[in-house]
Amino acid sequence: MPTVVLMDVSLSMTRPVSLDGSEEFQRKNLAVHGLNMLFEHMASNYRMEFTALMAFSSLWELLVPFTRDYNALQEALGNLEDYDKTCVESALNGVSNVVQQEWGSACPCQVVLVTDGSLGIGKGSLRHSLHTLKHHGDDKKFPLPFPFPTKLFIMSVANAEELQMTDAMDNLEELLRLSGGDGQIFTMEGPLCMKNVQAMFGRLIDHAYSPFHAVLHCGNLSSDVQVFPRPEPIVMDEEVEPMPRSVNTDLEIVGFIEIADISSPPVISRHLVLPINVNKEVDEVGTGATDELEEEPSASQMAGKSPNFCVLLHGSLKVEGMVALVQLGPEWYGMLYSQADSKKKSNLMMSLFEPGPDPLPWLGKITHLGPISEAAENPYGEDDSKSPFPLQPPVKRSYAQNVTVWIKASGLQTDVQKILRNARKLPDKTQTFYKELNRLRKAALAFGFWELLKGMADLLERECTLLPDSAHPDAAFQLSHAAQQLKLASTGDSQYAAFDHNIAPMHTDFSS
Amino acid sequence: MKMFSVSHKTVFVVDHCPYMAESSRQQVECDVLTKSRGQGVIPLAPVSKSLWTCAVECSMEYCRILYDVYPLHKLINYIVSDSEFHILNSWRQEDQSTHELMSALAAVGPPNPREDPECCSILHGLVAAVESLCKITELQHERRTTLMDTAERVANRGRIICLTNAKSDTHVRMLEDCIQETILEQNKLAAVFFFNIQLGDDALVSDRPKKEISPLLTSEVHSVRAGRHLATKLNILVQQHFDLASTTITNIPMKEEQHANTSANYDVELLHHRDAHLEFFKSGDLHMAGTSTRENGLKETITLKWCTPRTNSIELHYCTGAYRISPTDVNSRPSSCLTNFLLNGRSVLLEQPRKSGSKVISHMLSSHGGEIFLHVLNSNRSTLEDPPSISEGCGGRVTDYRITDFGEFMRENRLMPVSESSHDPSGKLPVERAKGQLERHTRYWPMIISQTTIFNMQAVVPLANLIVKETLSEEDVLTCQKTVYNLVDMERKNDPLPISTVGSRGKGPKRDEQYRIMWNELETLVKTHAGATDRHQRVLDCIIACRSKPPEEEERKKRGRKREEREDKTEKNGSKDTDDKSWQESERLKGLLDKEEQESEVIKDSPDSPEPLNKKPRLCTEEVQPPERAKGPVSLLTMWSNRITVANSRKHQEFVGRVSSVNNKFELYQQLKDENGMDVHENGKASR
């Protein structure tokens, strides 16, 4: 989930912070300090996150496009300049553009808005934007909610009391509500100082940027892993199941399935599964360290050299072309597979299925997948030539069962002509003739279209009179038999008009 | 995303009163005469559908689309009304199919024009519809039962679609009032109602958009002509009611019926859940994505271009959604060509037409088990691009993972669907049994080749495959024991073991040390299963009884190892001048081995131990292949081992089995015929 850091660089951010100490800080310095801490945390614990840095006042500017280069982000923070007044609306428009250009409109995004709670004055101020919300034309819609799923974190370099003195807090809350409600407003607790700004960003880190650690199990084999990006809790049906579901920290493999059988299933999110070494100190800032490369070489080399189940699993999944079905929680499953980024690089990935007992119709209920060893004979065949998948639904779909639709006249004409074509080729086409005839008969009965049955009977009788002299004698018998049966059905007489009844070919024997 | 929205239940109420037997006055010419046959033949008079036929076929089309897109949990109850109401099916899942409905409709037949119009009314059906909506469906029942105290979260809502021939607006109002009254009587139903009034020709009833009649009831009136117009209207309604959208697949190459060698491009329109277009809606790309508005101005479709599949390679696409489809025109030739192509197992990628000319594959059509799905593929930049390779992380530098073995393990732990009918509800769920199997199979599973000896040995395979089973048959135990005897045999013959030399210098451990490692490992493997059943335990007992050296012996051997290592060096040098010395050494070693042999004989061949009886039968000649028969020049090692074998054979008593064998065969477990198996088992233990 990429992050956009939206930094307020209006003049109000340069307000000095009254401190007893000798050094004088501006709010901007506090904000930069907090962001530096966030970037440092991400560089070591959340390195795969793409982050962009935007600065805004009445205008906005993309200082650093989406990157994983946290040095570049920190460097840009060091070179911030001061501009005029705060204009949140235009900045949010900027965010919307920047994110959509890079990631499209489906990718969830986190926006970290850093401001001092002084939200501008007059036209362009947040207050003005929110007041005129309803008067916006369709062409100039307020940017929130963004088209992409958003988590909005507002980092206010001001304490809650200060925000509540004006309507700033109300406006920020309204902003959060407009963005879809997913997110949080963080304020400073206590006096404005380095320590408290650290505490505030610490809360953001715990809330949104703590790495997700789990243990991947396959029977007695296991590996500590980091799942990136963090799987977010989801709500399935706000009415019946209002509680969000979260992914367990124990991921349990239940079995294996061929890629061809799982067949490009729909997934709600994709995550890297990175093996980690948990023997390290967990006492550092944030949670456990995960990054092997930044560590001193000896430690990472050690970790690299002791066998890890993830690597084994990845290798075999890749070679065999299979996926591992993994249980994420009660009635929630996903799959593990090898994903190649390039010819050389590949990785263990996990995709999450929609929560529920049967996320993929072609696999059926996951709880009803059992080990093949229980089958009398291997359902994959001795040479892997067959497969028990996909599961067939009990009822065929309309396009797989030759349904009759006569809404367009052409549909009816085609069906009638098909019967006549076969009628002219009797007795060779006896089977097809009766099959088509019965199909028409069934539909006509269901639709209460008895007139058609009479009409068809007339047509068959006429065909009978038009038979050439060379025709097989059976043709005439079959045609008049069929015509008679249709006529009987068209009376609605229950003996002849039963839906499940089929007109059988007349039994004729010309051999003797 | 509400499971129990108004769409969960739909009741069709179709008027079956005598006036519905009237002709729709739309004639269908079904006798198409060709020029050559036309002469002198009087064409059949065109047929015309009755209002009833129009109503039935349009409602069936609504059901067809619904069942295609939602085979589960979107239910239809079909009611026909004349002098009384006829309920044609129930909410139960097995009643939900067009075949069921068609069959029931055939039994009802067309309205009887001679029936007394005074007793006939659509009202009977409407009242029954409200009552039917009050009945709980299987899914509602199931969810309420599981939710227990919060059961009220499972709402009861529904929709009624009434197809009738009302005479006036007042008539419609009267019908609405009647439904409202019934709802109030039932006092539990929140329902949304759509009225669909269809008329022969002149509009006697006026259209009316959605209107809230009471908090429990909204109503909508559509006045349309029978036939095509009604069909179009219901097609729009089914899309609105069930959040459907339309995609037109364009540029489908299809062989012409008449000219088989040419192909023309066709378009096929499909309906599916509108979320398949979510990305377009969000990005406001609708027009760019080739939206077109139909002639009636009510329906929009998105055009996607067919990309002829080149390969049949199996690939795991990153797919963010898969939605069942239903062709709008199901039995047209282009539609059936497309659906048959897909049902035969091919997948088709679909390209989103873009102004810029860049090619973006946004969707894929694919069938799974006879159902066709429109898959939405991710066409945006991935946030996971350029991840560190797995080889850079933990365990990434290890090169001798048992990749092939784990692949085999995965094949054995593949899953299969177990039908719910064959599942014993009191037992463990199949998926739990699958997890149980994984647990058993991984009790001892070294991840790298250099960590294991037994899994690198073909000879251990039969035992390793069997011991992980939940239960063993008597035959399985025998196979395991055979495997053990085979190993004993290998050890006796001093066959080399695939012991890893990683981490040790030179040749690695000595042969007998290798066997000790192997036996230890085998014992570890089997010990993890020994508690499962008595038969598992018997396999362990067999190993303990058969493994070459009892523990105290091993201690002694360790002390003597230094000497052997020296000897090993000389053997390796193998130069002539040390030959004599090596022979001396081997003689000394021979003495040592003889002594051991005697010691072990005391145990193995002691009269109260049945162990020799368990000795592997010499069935196949390759197992007893004497070293002399090895091809090629005789090596020093062979000469040496021959000497020892000969010396040994002189010194020890021949096994009972071998002595009394017939054709080199000897029946095992003869004592089992008289005693039970427990004796063997206990004796086996005692022999340790």
Tens-binned pLDDT, residue by residue, of chain A (512 aa): 899 999 999 888 888 887 666 567 888 889 999 999 999 999 988 888 999 999 999 899 999 999 999 999 999 998 888 888 888 888 999 999 999 888 888 888 999 999 988 887 777 788 888 888 777 666 677 888 898 889 999 999 888 888 888 888 888 999 999 988 789 999 988 888 888 999 999 999 999 999 999 999 999 999 999 999 999 888 887 777 778 899 999 999 999 999 999 989 999 999 999 999 876 443 333 333 444 444 455 566 667 788 999 999 999 999 999 999 999 999 999 999 999 877 778 899 999 999 998 999 999 999 999 999 988 889 998 888 889 999 988 889 999 988 999 998 889 999 999 999 999 888 889 999 999 999 999 999 999 999 999 999 999 998 888 888 888 888 999 999 999 999 999 988 888 888 988 999 988 776 65
Q: What is the pLDDT of residue B348?
A: 92
For residue A270, the chain B residues in CB contact (below 8 A) are 318, 382, 384
Inter-chain CB proximity A400 and B381 less than 8 Å: no
Structure tokens at B147: 């939710």
- Cβ pair B52:A448 closer than 8 A: yes
d(CA A319, CA B673): 50
Of A160, A190, A161, A185, nearest to A174 (Cα)?
A: A185
CB distance A308–B410 less than 8 Å? no
Kindly identify which residue of chain B lies nearest to residue A453, measuring between CA atoms: B47
Q: Say whether residue B149 is in contact with chain A using an 8 A CB cutoff.
A: no
CA distances from B31 to A25, B49, B134 (A): 93, 15, 48
Q: How far is B507 from chain A (nearest CA, A)?
A: 23
Cβ-based neighbours of A187, under 8 Å, separated by 6 or more: A156, A158, A159, A160, A163, A200
- B685 lies within 8 A of chain A by CB: no
CA distances B283 to B279, B299, B393, Å, are 6, 20, 38
Q: What is the DSSP letter of B579?
A: H
∠ CA(A299), CA(A301), CA(A307), 5° rounding? 110
Query: In this structure, what DSSP letter does residue B137 have?
Result: P
Query: Chain B contact for A254, CB < 8 A?
Result: yes
Query: How confident is the model at residue B574, as a pLDDT?
Result: 43
In degrees and rounded to multiples of 5, residue A423 shows phi and psi of: -60, -35
Please check whether residue A360 is in contact with residue A354, taking contact to mean a CB–CB distance below 8 angstroms.
Answer: no
Q: Is B319 an interface residue toward A (CB < 8 Å)?
A: yes
**Cα dihedral A478, A482, A484, A489 in deg (nearest 10):** 160
By the 8 A CB rule, do B221 and B195 touch? yes
Chain B contact for A63, CB < 8 A?
no
Nearest residue, CB atoms, B431 vs list A270, A303, A370:
A370
Residue B293 pLDDT > 70: no
Q: Give the Cα separation of B343 and B335 in Å (integer).
A: 12
Most A CBs within 10 Å, among B394, B402, B455, B471, to test the A interface: B394
Instruction: Give the percent of chain B with pLDDT over 90.
Output: 33
Nearest-angstrom CA–CA distance, B216 and A35: 53
Q: Is the distance from CB of B677 to CB of B683 less than 8 angstroms? A: no
Collapsing DSSP states into helix, strand and coil, what is residue B577?
helix
- The answer to whether B97 contacts chain A (CB < 8 Å) is yes
Asked whether the bond before B71 is cis by omega within 30 degrees of 0, the reply is no
Strand partners, B162: B13, B195
**Token digits for A90?**
């235009």
Smallest Cβ–Cβ distance between B392 and the set A236, A293, A413 belongs to A293
Consecutive H or E run containing B235:
helix B228-241
Q: What is the mean pLDDT of residues B548-571?
A: 52
According to the model, what pLDDT value does residue A495 have? Answer: 83
Interface with A, mutate which of B383, B386, B400, B455 (most A CBs under 10 A): B383
Instruction: Report pLDDT for A286.
Output: 38
Instruction: Tell me whether B37 touches chain A (CB under 8 Å).
Output: yes
**Quick check: B635 pLDDT over 90?**
no
Quick one: tokens of B178?
């009647």
The answer to which of A315-329, B341-355, B552-566, B661-675 has the lowest mean pLDDT is B552-566
Give B 385-414 residues with CB within 8 A of chain A: 385-398, 401-404, 406-407, 409-414
| Residues of chain A found within 8 Å of residue B64, distances taken between Cβ atoms | 398, 403, 405
Burial class of residue B662 (count of CB atoms within 10 Å of its CB; 0-12, 13-18, 19+): exposed
Among B49, B413, B423, beta carbon nearest to A368: B423
Band (B555; pLDDT cuts 50, 70, 90): low
DSSP state of A187: E
Task: Please tell me the distance from the alpha carbon of residue B498 to that of residue B491, in angstroms, as a whole number.
Answer: 13
Q: Are A413 and B30 an interchain contact pair (Cβ–Cβ within 8 Å)? A: yes
Provide the CB-side half-sphere exposure for A493 (13 A, CA). 9
Mutate to test the interface with A, among B410, B420, B439 (most CBs of A within 10 A): B410
A254 with B315: Cβ contact below 8 A: no
Note whether A353 and A267 are within 8 A (CB). Answer: yes
Q: Which residues of B touch A306 (CB under 8 A)?
A: 394-395, 398
Q: Which of residues 117-176 of A touch B (CB under 8 A)?
A: 147-148
Please tell me the distance from the alpha carbon of residue B619 to that of residue B663, in angstroms, as a whole number.
9
Ramachandran sector of residue B80 (left: φ over 0; alpha: ψ -120 to 50; beta: rest): beta
Among all chains, which residue has been given the structure tokens 């079959």?
A: A478
CB within 8 Å of B499: residues ≥ 6 apart:
B453, B508, B509, B514, B517, B518
Confidence of residue B683 (pLDDT cuts 50, 70, 90): very low
pTM comes to 0.82
The angle formed by the CA atoms of residues B521, B523 and B524, to the nearest 5 degrees, is 65
Residue B226 CA to residue B197 CA, distance in Å, equals: 10
Tokens (6 digits) for B553: 């012996």
Structural contact between residues A274 and B38, judged by C-beta atoms closer than 8 angstroms: no
**Whether the predicted pLDDT of B188 surpasses 60:** no
- How is residue B92 written in tokens? 């139960």
Angle at B222 between CA B219 and CA B223, to 5 degrees: 140
User: Among all residues of chain A, which has the CA nearest to that of B110?
Assistant: A448
Complex confidence, ipTM: 0.89
- Here the tokens at position A345 are 């690089």
d(CA B111, CA A69): 76
From CA A194, how far away is CA A405, in angstroms rounded?
Answer: 74
A448 and B111 in contact by Cβ < 8 A? yes
d(CA B423, CA B117): 55
Per-residue model confidence as pLDDT tens digits over B501-550: 655 555 667 788 888 889 999 999 999 999 999 999 999 999 999 885 55
Q: What is the DSSP letter of A166?
A: T
Tell whether A433 is within 8 A of chain B (Cβ). no
Contact call for A323 and B283, based on CB within 8 A? no
CB contact under 8 A, A466 and B368: no
- Predicted local confidence at residue A334, as pLDDT: 96
Mutation for B interface: A386, A397, A438, most B CBs within 10 A: A397
Q: Give the chain B residue nearest A495 (alpha carbons).
A: B107
Q: Which pLDDT does position B595 carry in this prediction? A: 46
Residue in chain A closest to B339 (alpha carbons) equals A399
Instruction: Give the lowest-confidence range in A10-14, B318-322, B490-494, B677-681.
Output: B677-681
Closest CA to A452 of A506, A393, A411, A480: A411
Residue type at A172? L
Mutate to test the interface with A, among B374, B390, B450, B452 (most CBs of A within 10 A): B390
- Calculate what percentage of chain B has a pLDDT beyond 70: 72
| Yes or no, beta carbons of B41 and A466 under 8 Å apart | yes
pLDDT tens across B322-371, in order? 999 999 999 888 999 999 999 998 889 999 877 666 778 899 999 999 99
| Angle between helices B534-546 and B474-492 in degrees, nearest 10 | 10
Question: Which of B3, B279, B413 minimises the CB distance to A237?
Answer: B3
Closest-CA residue in chain B for A386?
A: B416
> By C-alpha distance, which of A47, A38, A35, A40 is closest to A211?
A47
Residue from A262, A319, A398, A413 whose CB has the most chain B CBs within 10 Å, to mutate: A398
CB-based contact A413 B29, cutoff 8 Å:
yes
Q: Is A487 on the interface with B (CB under 8 A)?
A: no
B3 CA: distance to closest CA in chain A (Å): 7
Q: Closest-CA residue in chain A for B448?
A: A307
Contact predicate B256/B228, CB 8 Å: no
Distance CA A410, CA B681 (A): 81
Beta bridge pairs of residue B263: B255
Q: Residue B652 — left, alpha, or beta (φ > 0 → left; ψ -120 to 50 → alpha)?
A: beta
How much is the pLDDT for A7? Answer: 92
Would you call B331 an interface residue with chain A, using a CB distance cutoff of 8 Å? yes
What average pLDDT does the structure give for chain B? 78
Average pLDDT rounded to a whole number, residues B180-187: 74
**What secondary structure letter does DSSP report for A326?**
E
Q: Which helix (H) or strand (E) holds A259?
A: helix A259-262
**pLDDT value of residue A416:** 92
Pairing of strands B9-15, B75-81: parallel
A contacts of B321 (beta carbons < 8 Å): 266
- CA A99 – CA A148 distance, rounded (Å): 9
Residue B289 has a pLDDT of 43
CA–CA gap between residue B568 and residue B555 (Å, rounded): 20
Structure tokens at B126: 């409407």
Spacing of C-alpha A412 from chain mean position: 42
Residues 533 through 572 of chain B touching chain A, CB cutoff 8 Å: none
Chain A hits for B110, Cβ within 8 Å? 448-450, 492
Q: pLDDT-derived band of residue B90, with 50, 70 and 90 as boundaries? A: very high
Q: What is the dihedral of CA A488, A494, A496, A499, to 10 degrees?
A: 120
Which pair of tokens denotes residue B612?
A: 């020799």
**Contact B316/A262, CB-based, under 8 Å?**
yes
CB B494, CB B641: distance < 8 Å:
yes
CA distances to A308, A471, B390, B402, B404 from B399, in Å? 11, 79, 12, 9, 13
* B406: its two tokens: 């784990």
Element holding B219 (H helix, E strand): strand B217-225
Token readout for A44 is 């070591």
Tokens of A409: 């006249």
Instruction: Tell me phi and psi for residue B67, to 5 degrees.
Output: -65, -30
User: DSSP H helical segments within A365-498, as ranges?
Assistant: 409-423, 430-446, 450-466, 473-489
Query: Mean pLDDT, to the nearest integer, of B164-189?
Result: 77
**What angle do helix axes B579-604 and B636-651 make, rounded to 10 degrees?**
40
d(CA A215, CA A225): 6
Region for B73 from its dihedrals, namely left if φ exceeds 0, alpha if ψ lies in -120 to 50, beta otherwise:
left
Question: What is residue B580's predicted lDDT score, i.e. its pLDDT?
Answer: 46
- Is the pLDDT confidence value at B478 over 90? yes
Chain A environment of B370 (Cβ under 8 Å): 392-393, 396-397, 400
